[in-house]
Structure 1
Amino acid sequence: MILWHYPSKNLINLTNLKNALHIWRADIDLRPELLTKLAVNLSLDERQRADRFYFERDKKKYIASRGLLRIILSGYLNIEPDRLEFRYSQQGKPELNNIDTEARLCFNVSHSQDLAVYAIALNRAVGIDLEYLRQIADVQQLAERFFSRSESSLINALPESQQQQLFFRFWTIKEAYLKATGEGLSGLQAIAVSITPENAINLSSTESNILLNNQWFCTEFKPGAEYTGALVVERKDLEENAIEYFTLETDYIMNH
């Protein structure tokens, strides 16, 4: 069972990430005064991107998710949130640009509906995905379009009430892997997911038939009653009990 707890200053530092990984969850439907505090820390290009959102609710959630990322990262690096600079891969994956340290702080972000999750690691490529569990009318057709034949067969063989859940399990683990590698969704069908007898996830490549679990640690988690999440990170001897789960609360935001 996953226990989400509040962060303390003695836990949030680079030393504690050497043999661990941290997952954060945060509400991004925030009060105006919190949004104002977070917006001040954003860079010019982040503010310009926020202004390009057509709907005000999407603009506010972008400001919240990006501002909270800065708050989280600044706690590990002990610098002000507005001093962080980012660069982007060709697929748009962000990474820190102006932190001169031998320890490479790696991160990934996902948000859905009113929730965001953040994966924080040290010297490990990492990807995280979050999905709000909503009803999909054409789940069988989507599975046949985006998944392998074995995956779509597993979904289609289930009662209709269980198909949605398995679809989202497959989708989140695949997307988390593609975000970890930086490949983007174009590689969705090259990744195969299977379920072990213990109901855990196995990850492999359909192109070379390599069990990716040997190279990557993958796990699922529940950040909320109506959400499902998945994490994929470079294994490097990382064990599941080395993952710590934090809830980002208002007090932490206001004090950073």
Structure 2
Amino acid sequence: MILWHFPPKNLSLRKDSLHIWRADVDLPIDLLTALAVNLSWDERQRADRFYFERDKKRFIACRGLLRMIISHYLDLEPYKLKFTYSPRGKPELDNNHTQDRLCFNVSHSQNLAVYAIALNRAVGIDLEYTRPLSDLQQLAERFFSPSEASIINALPEAQQQEVFFRLWTIKEAYLKATGEGLAGLQSIVVSFTRENTINLYNIENNVLLNSHWFCTEFNPEPEYKGALVAERKDLEENTVEYFTLTTDYILNH
């Protein structure tokens, strides 16, 4: 059972551990304004391109909170953080001047955001709001492998949605960790053992990926599915910590 708790005052990150944060991105306007001050010019430009004001505010909150979280690990003011982006858009720190490389990944859905923070290991995280999908079977056949789509289609209707979102979040978290992007959805196959162990396969190379990649699932709220994939490097379930980012923590740090 996953326990979400408040972060300690003296936040530290070991090389053999990983931190997952959850945060509400529907924030009051005064807090949102304070976070927006730390955004870069290009982040503000991206925020202004959103058509709906709600989406703009959520983007500002998501990026502003990311900067705040990372700043605690690096002891650097949030506005001083600089990001670079891979050809597929994955952000990385450009001014990480510590001995160990701080790695991170972000995902948000509806009013929630999740953040994965680690040292010296590639990491990907995905979060999905589990809303009903009228075209679920078509989506499975389009984006999943034939075996995965067949499994979903054979399930009772009540179970199809849960399994679809479990597969989707795990596969997308893996593709974010590797930087491959959604184009690789069909090349990765996910299966579950009776003990609920998650197996990751690369069907193009016929390789089981578990020895190199760690994978776990989490539910930050009842109607959300989340998944994390990271380079294993001695990472285990009991070395992943789960933090809740509260308004009080934001205001006092």
Q: What TM-score comes out, normalization by structure 1 length?
A: 0.97
1:144 positional shift: 1.0
User: CA separation in 1, counterparts of 2:14 and 2:180?
Assistant: 25
Stretches of structure 2 lacking an aligned partner (at least 5 in a row): none
Partner of 2:63: 66
Indicate yes or no: 2:222 matched with 1:225: yes
Residue 141 of structure 2 is aligned to residue 144 of structure 1: yes
Partner of residue 6, structure 2: 6
Counterparts of 2:54 and 2:143, CA distance in 1? 29
Equivalent pairs counted in the alignment come to 253
Aligned ranges for residues 142-221 of structure 1 at < 5 Å?
142-221=139-218
Q: Distance in 1 between matches of 2:197 and 2:220?
A: 17
Question: Contact conserved, 2:140 with 2:164, CA < 8 A, in 1?
Answer: yes
User: Unpaired segments of 5 or more residues in structure 1?
Assistant: none
Tell me what 2:128 maps to: 131
Q: Distance in 1 between matches of 2:29 and 2:81?
A: 23
Partner AA of 1:100 in structure 2? H
State whether structure 2 residue 114 is matched by structure 1 residue 117: yes
Tell me which of 15, 25, 28 is aligned to 2:25: 28
Q: Deviations over 1:200-249 (max 9, x none)?
A: 32111010111111110001001101001000000011111000000000
Matched-pair identity in %: 73
Q: Distance in 2 between matches of 1:94 and 1:18?
A: 21
Deviation per residue, 1:167-196 (Å, 9 max, x gap):
000000000000000000011111001111
CA-CA distance at 1:138 after TM superposition: 1.2
Report the CA distance between 1:17 and its aligned residue.
Answer: 2.5
- Segments of 4+ moved more than 4 angstroms: none
| CA–CA separation in structure 2 for the residues paired with 1:129 and 1:115 | 11
The residue correspondences of 1:99-118 to structure 2 (distance < 5 A) are: 99-118=96-115
**Normalising by structure 2, what TM-score?**
0.98
Q: CA RMSD for the aligned pairs?
A: 0.8
Residue in 1 aligned with 2:236? 239
Query: For the Cα contact (< 8 Å) 2:16–2:233, is it kept in 1?
Result: no
Q: Is the 8 A contact 2:32 2:57 kept in 1?
A: yes
Inter-partner Cα distance in structure 2 for 1:71 and 1:236: 27
